[in-house]
């Protein structure tokens, strides 16, 4: 299983959380089992391979992190979704953006560009082109605004007088 596959599984679980109203730990305990993957693997190649410990830890970290930081992540989505009410954003697109934003904010070992590119690739599998462009635009604006590579300008020295 690749990191991108693990990330996509995490997005699926984040998406499920939006519907269940439950907590991340309960969902992970139910879904992240060899038996559940065997069931889901019959329907989707995504679940054909059960994650190893490192991959399972990564999935758990993403899902629990998105769950714990949900209001903050939704706030960023709302802030950068200019002209859109959060309720109008497709739920899968929101799950993709929440997951990518969590990686950008809280997982320094994941490069921002890798998180965003992976999110756009996942969105392409579930959303029409215009929604994919929307996701890409929001994530790009978010990363540029929140993590500008431009160092802050030093304060101008005050003239002595």
The domain ranges of the chain are: 3-146
- 1, pLDDT greater than 90: no
Q: For the domain 3-146, what is the CATH code?
A: 1.10.940.10
Question: Quick check: 155 pLDDT over 90?
Answer: no
End-to-end CA distance of the chain: 67
- What lies within 8 Å, CB to CB, of 79 at 6+ separation is none
Is-contact 96 123, C-beta < 8 A? yes
Amino acid 20: pLDDT: 85
More confident residue, 65 or 84: 65
Rounded Cα distance, 74 and 1, in Å: 29
Split at pLDDT 50, 70, 90, the class of 18 is confident
Position 149 scores a pLDDT of 52
Specify the residue for token string 């991340």. 24
Question: Mean pLDDT, the chain, as a whole number?
Answer: 90
Report pLDDT for 19. Answer: 84
């Amino acid at each position: 299983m690749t990191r991108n596959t693990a990330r996509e599984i995490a997005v699926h679980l984040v998406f499920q959380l939006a519907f269940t109203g439950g907590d991340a730990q309960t969902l992970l305990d139910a879904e992240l089992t060899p038996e559940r993957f065997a069931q889901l693997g019959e329907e989707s190649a995504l679940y054909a391979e059960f994650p190893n410990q490192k991959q399972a830890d990564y999935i758990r970290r993403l899902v629990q992190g998105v769950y714990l930081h949900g209001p903050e992540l939704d706030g960023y989505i709302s802030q950068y979704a200019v002209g859109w009410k959060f309720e109008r954003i497709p739920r899968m697109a929101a799950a993709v953006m929440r997951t990518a934003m969590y990686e950008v904010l809280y997982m320094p070992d994941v490069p921002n560009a890798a998180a965003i590119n992976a999110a756009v690739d996942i969105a392409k599998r579930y959303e029409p082109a215009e929604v994919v462009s929307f996701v890409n635009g929001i994530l790009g604006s978010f990363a540029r605004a929140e993590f500008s590579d431009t160092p802050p300008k030093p304060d101008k020295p005050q003239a002595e007088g």
